[in-house]
Amino acid sequence: MSRFADIALPAALHQALDQLGYETATPVQAQTVPPMLQGHDVLVQAKTGSGKTAAFGLALLATLQSDNTQLQGLILCPTRELAEQVSKELRALARFVPNIKILSLCGGVSVRVQLASLSHEPHIVVGTPGRIQDLIKRGALPLDGLSTVILDEADRMLDMGFIEPIKSILEGTPSRRKTWLFSATYTDDIRAISSAFQRTPTDIAIAEPP
Ligand code: ADP
Ligand code: MG
Quick check: pTM over 0.80?
Answer: yes
Domain boundaries defined on the chain: 27-205
Regarding the beta carbon of 22 and ligand 1, being less than 6 Å apart is answered yes
Query: Per-residue pLDDT tens for 187-205?
Result: 999 999 999 999 999 999 9
Which ligand 1 atom is at minimum distance from the Cα of 48? 4
**What class does CATH assign to 27-205?**
alpha beta
**Nearest bound ligand to CA 75?**
2
Look at ligand 1, atom 20, and give the residue with the nearest C-alpha.
Answer: 51
Q: How far is the CA of 109 from the centre of ligand 1 (A)?
A: 27
Regarding the beta carbon of 30 and ligand 1, being less than 6 Å apart is answered no
Of 163, 149, 158, the closest CA to residue 42 belongs to: 149
Regarding the beta carbon of 25 and ligand 1, being less than 6 Å apart is answered yes
Residue 180 DSSP SS3: strand
Query: Per-residue pLDDT tens for 42-90?
Result: 999 999 999 999 999 999 999 999 899 999 999 999 999 999 999 999 9
Residue 206 Cα to chain centre, angstroms: 18
**Nearest bound ligand to CA 156?**
2
Regarding the beta carbon of 49 and ligand 1, being less than 6 Å apart is answered yes
Beta pairing class for 73-76 and 42-45? unpaired
